[in-house]
Chains A and B, each alone.
Chain A
């Protein structure tokens, strides 16, 4: 039965690849990248082998602890566990629990992350190659630690499923997740600053980690190399106990979940009145704008692009603070403007097959394009204006405002225009409505990256006049260039937006059935 489950997983993996060549390309690139990392780390492990045993032990315990922690947290917070073999689908088959658990556990190894983890953790043997006994123990412990990773990932995700079945909770957790991401850069910075002194207190940390489920398996070979077989045996026994408890805990949760599958419950959200529909005129483009604005406010996939906004000035400020020159802060508004304008280029992909309503009602292309731009503008315009005005006032450099505003507004309008055309032509796989905003359909990366790169390149070219005038202003300090940048931004931006809406609308109408089918294919 275990073999059957593994075969099923491999077959599903292969069939998924056969569905689309792009997906195959994505998986191949992902696998090559993973392999590259693995080879680099294996070389690192081999070099580590020449070091002092105590240092080897410290590094390995720390590294393995991070890997185990990653497996425990990343699936819950970011990717969601790979549900190709969703336990809920096996409820109607009477598979003995023990075999189901073993099968699901081992199936985690089929796929790039699982395979790489196995290679690396078993590769610890390389680092202990001068101590044969420890090396053998390291390979065995590495394999067991990989199983621990798989089981821990299953345990944490199964436990979290009960919570995340509530849609409201899921949406809030996504937004909360942005906070640590926001602070990631500075945290890494601080940690690397303190690296020198860390060499003093790290052994103490690894000493503790070596007795926790995170690092205990990795610490066993270290004991052997230090000539303490009794300690190694004790630690190995403790590690096995950890593994058993985690597998047992997961099995209990799994069986409970299969007996009473979690029902996705709504958050009881309600919209009594017309909501955003009151803000726009009762016309087709007004309706599209109202609907899109509702999505901007209620759909976590859109919320992510809004929450990204404070990240940009924060990072620019952080980097500027090192040098003391805050000029970079004035680029926050243009960058935010272009990113917000760009965000509607995936609008139809985000609609998914609900787009059928736009197709069936005989909506005009111009109305669709205009409505989406307006909804985004309602969100983007205040944000862009604020991020232009606030730094100028705080730094007491109001005279730079015309140039900054010219570039920001020009950027926003131009990005709207380019996105209006691009989204009528290109769709790509995005998280489906209700999915985690961080989940991308596997293997979609390449096509998406190519399209997005092309969009940004076009925007960059169209924005050259504003960029040139802004630079001219910064270099010469002549107010004239600032005002020229403002004029260029408004006039050129309006022209590009107008062209974008018309051409995008025409393409949209001509390609309507193809766009509809693209949303079906992305499902």
Chain B
């Protein structure tokens, strides 16, 4: 894919002052973040921290109340179509067109992107093979297991060879073997110049897999940088708990002790 010179130096994903309120609850409170091109970026935070809301706004699924987002220098809310052509998105908690078979769904995503039929067909077969979905490719997606559904959704995000992948909870409900396969695909993708942003609350996974990490809690950005910078010597999990706080008193449930 050819890209203009001016945009290649810009961060893969730049966020400035992004904010969103739902009623009287602030979901995302003015987050600013740079995701360097070619990084494997983890977004971690407790449940309800605003991860999904932030990623929805960064990918054009949700209109922010404030702030701006650029994908490789392209403003997603000004030049929407161009920005979206650079993006591959795996949204969390949305349905798929599940009356299509797995193969039809991936083909559909490719055709919606305006790709030509031959390329779509070849890439669909590649994706089904790598994600180990060949056998189930004729089955309707509605009959897939949770993990297979995640994988087929990932395939729809990959088909147009995006420059930036934004994946919301990509490993949820995926079996260990498939998860390892997906990690390999993503690592290979980053090694060849792509950028991945994943949200997760599995700290171990993020520490092993990601080059960079950002910690979000209650809609605020608490820390960001390379994984080594953020964890500052301790494990990411300990550092995360320290940043987010809220650990309960260990003596809390003495009656739970069985002896």
Contact = CB atoms under 8 A, between A and B. Distances in A.
Given A360-B89, A513-B62, A271 B100 contact: yes
B101 A270 contact: yes
B84 interface: yes
Interface in B25-51: none
A362 B140 contact: no
B138 interface: yes
B112 A363 contact: yes
Contacts of A352: 95
B140 A269 contact: yes
B104 A271 contact: yes
B128 interface: no
Given A282-B116, A514-B63, A433 B108 contact: no
A354 B98 CA distance: 8
Given A266-B143, A359-B60, A282 B108 contact: no
A284 B93 CA distance: 25
A360 B95 contact: no
A145 B155 CA distance: 56
Contacts of B98: 354, 433
A282 B60 contact: no
In which size bucket is the chain B interface? 35 or more
B120 A282 contact: yes
A433 B111 contact: no
Contacts of B100: 271, 291, 294
Contacts of A358: 112
A360 B84 contact: yes
Interface residues of A, number: 44
A345 interface: no
Contacts of A361: 84, 109, 112-113, 160
A516 B116 CA distance: 27
A353 interface: yes
Given A353-B95, A356-B61, A274 B142 contact: no
Interface in A341-383: 351-354, 356-364
Contact of A362 (B80, B93, B138): B80
A295 B107 contact: no
Nearest to A267: B143
A277 interface: yes
A286 B115 CA distance: 12
B59 interface: yes
Interface of A: 167, 266, 268-272, 274-275, 277, 282-284, 286-288, 290-291, 294-295, 298-299, 351-354, 356-364, 433-434, 509, 512-514, 516-517, 520
17 contacts: A266-B139, A274-B104, A282-B120, A299-B99, A356-B61, A357-B96, A357-B97, A359-B61, A360-B84, A360-B91, A360-B157, A361-B84, A364-B81, A433-B95, A433-B142, A512-B60, A516-B62
Given A167-B142, A271-B140, A357-B109, 12 more contacts: A270-B139, A271-B100, A271-B104, A274-B103, A275-B104, A283-B114, A287-B108, A291-B97, A354-B96, A361-B112, A361-B160, A364-B81
